[in-house]
Amino acid sequence: MTDEFLQFSLSRGNDLITPRPDYRFPGLKAGDRWCLCALRWKEALEHGCAPQVELEATAAEALNFISMNELIKHALKSDA
């Protein structure tokens, strides 16, 4: 997660920042990892604020909406 993406998502009506204890949702902050739907990620990409992706955790179905090249370009770099 990045602050830029979290603010973008909030502007689209999806508040991922505010904790929701009734749903056991802690709220997200920059640096957190979270599963995003492919279409929201693509929308963020089109607005220049797509967060990095963990390729190994990305569903193959995401390729129906996003090119492999874009996913690779935004791949989370490992520390290894």
Give the Cα separation of 16 and 13 in Å (integer): 9
Q: Could you tell me the pLDDT band of residue 44, with boundaries at 50, 70 and 90? A: very high
Q: Is residue 63 part of a domain?
A: yes
Q: What is the pLDDT of residue 79?
A: 61
Domain count, the chain: 1
Q: Is residue 79 part of a domain?
A: no
Round the average pLDDT of the chain to a whole number and report it: 94
| Residues facing residue 53 across a β-bridge | 75
Q: Is residue 37 part of a domain?
A: yes
Residue 80 above 70 pLDDT? no
Q: Could you tell me the pLDDT band of residue 77, with boundaries at 50, 70 and 90? A: confident
Q: Is residue 80 part of a domain?
A: no
- Domain span at residue 22? 3-73
Q: Is residue 12 part of a domain?
A: yes
Q: Is residue 52 part of a domain?
A: yes
Mean pLDDT of 41-66: 96
Q: Which residue has the tokens 């490992």?
A: 78
pLDDT in tens, 7-34: 999 999 999 999 999 999 999 999 999 9
Report the run of H or E that residue 44 belongs to, with start and end. helix 38-46
34: domain CATH number is 1.10.1660.80
Q: Is residue 69 part of a domain?
A: yes
Q: Is residue 45 part of a domain?
A: yes
Contact 80, 56 (CB under 8 A): no
